[in-house]
Amino acid sequence: MLDEKVAKFQELEERFLVLRDHMGLEEKEKRLKFLEESVSKEDFWKDMEKGKGILMERTSLIKFFEEWNKFTEMYEEVKTALELLKQEHDETIENELDQNLKKFEKMLKEMEIKRLFTEQEDISSAILSINAGAGGTEAQDWVEMLLRMYLRWAEKMDYKAQIVDILAGDEAGIKNVTVTIDGTYAYGYLKAEQGIHRLIRISPFDASGRRHTSFASVSVIPQVEDNIEIEIKEEDIRVDTYRASGCGGQKVNKTDSAVRITHLPTGIVVQCQNERSQHKNREMAMKLLKARLYELEMKKREEERQKNYEQKKDIAWGSQIRTYVLHPYKQVKDHRTQYEVGNAEAVLDGEINDFIEKFLLQKTA
């Protein structure tokens, strides 16, 4: 048994050493030192825009080194435990080693994925929206299934997810929903999910038991940090309030607490009805608007970056990125990477990191 653990660790250690050599740690340390020195200068805030950019980069590097240090500490713990067990068997140490070996492998895989995050926004939290497409009630039910999938994924990743706006379907399911997902690299992961998702199954709403195809679109944008300045003039927005939809009975909202904001120059519309307080809903709606405007500003740069990315395509029906088949067989296939799995239930339960990893590897190849 010990020989198997040693062999497993040697395999993981080899990957760890390769990863360490490719992380650019020395360059990151020098950069962080330079940023720390810049922040400490008396005239740091003379250039507000430059100062905010420096603070954002500094925060990103600090978070990176916090994670990297925890990762290397786990590596040393596993290595030390193995050396102790080679000298003398101890059941307590062996049990602890089994747990830490699994933790180390999980952390290693996460770090290998994070090495693929090369864009400044990747470290940000995310705003995810799902909209029903062709398929009527079927498509609205599919939106609800996708929402559950992403909420389960966020839970597994220890991210905080909050539904900020939701419109129920006419008969069942959800027409559209917006969710904020807070956590380091949430956007880096979820940007791989943007596009059209197709579902093929026997319809639970069809008395004849026929097979149906449904579509839903997923869009993802980074949450804008407070230290990024996006100017929104009061005369450029129209704020409407309305009564938030509820579940009926005592939960019906009797005040116009929901908020919809229209940005007149761009036509962007955002809304929030999650909170009971109109003030809090307005605050969240402004945050969503800020993120949408930031996305608009970044679009030119994004298009330039993707000129050489052959998988780039418009989000339109018929250009689905992934198909989920529940009948006559079970399979989930990503059409960008050709990666597929047969355990569709696990995928719909939030196990999507393998799809994300394959996409990121292809994109950075």
Instruction: Dump pLDDT digits (tens) for 255-277.
Output: 678 999 999 999 999 999 888 88
- Nearest-Å Rg of the Cα atoms of the chain is 24
Output the pLDDT for position 316: 42
Res 115: pLDDT = 87
Q: What is the pLDDT of residue 82?
A: 95
How much is the pLDDT for 331?
A: 98
pLDDT, residue 312, reads 37
CATH numbers and ranges of domains, the chain: 2-115 (1.20.58.410), 123-222+345-364 (3.30.70.1660)
Burial class (CB in 10 A: 0-12, 13-18, 19+), 355: buried
The pLDDT value recorded for residue 324 is: 98
195, 199, 218, 221: which is closest to 313 by C-alpha?
195
CB atoms within 10 A of CB 141: 25
Ranges of the chain whose pLDDT falls below 70: 48-49, 225-229, 245-255, 300-318, 365
Integer CA distances (angstroms), 172 to 27, 41, 141, 145, 198, in order: 53, 59, 6, 12, 18
The DSSP output letter for 116 is: T
Beta strands in 289-329 (DSSP E): 320-325
Strand-pairing partners, residue 126, are 181, 222
DSSP string for 143-195: HHHHHHHHHHHHHHTT-EEEEEEEEE-SSSSEEEEEEEEESTTHHHHHGGG-E
Nearest to 278 by CA among 255, 251, 254, 250: 255
* pLDDT score recorded for residue 61: 87
**Please, what is the Cα angle at 351 between 349 and 357, to 5 degrees?**
155
Tell me, what DSSP letter sits at residue 135? Answer: T
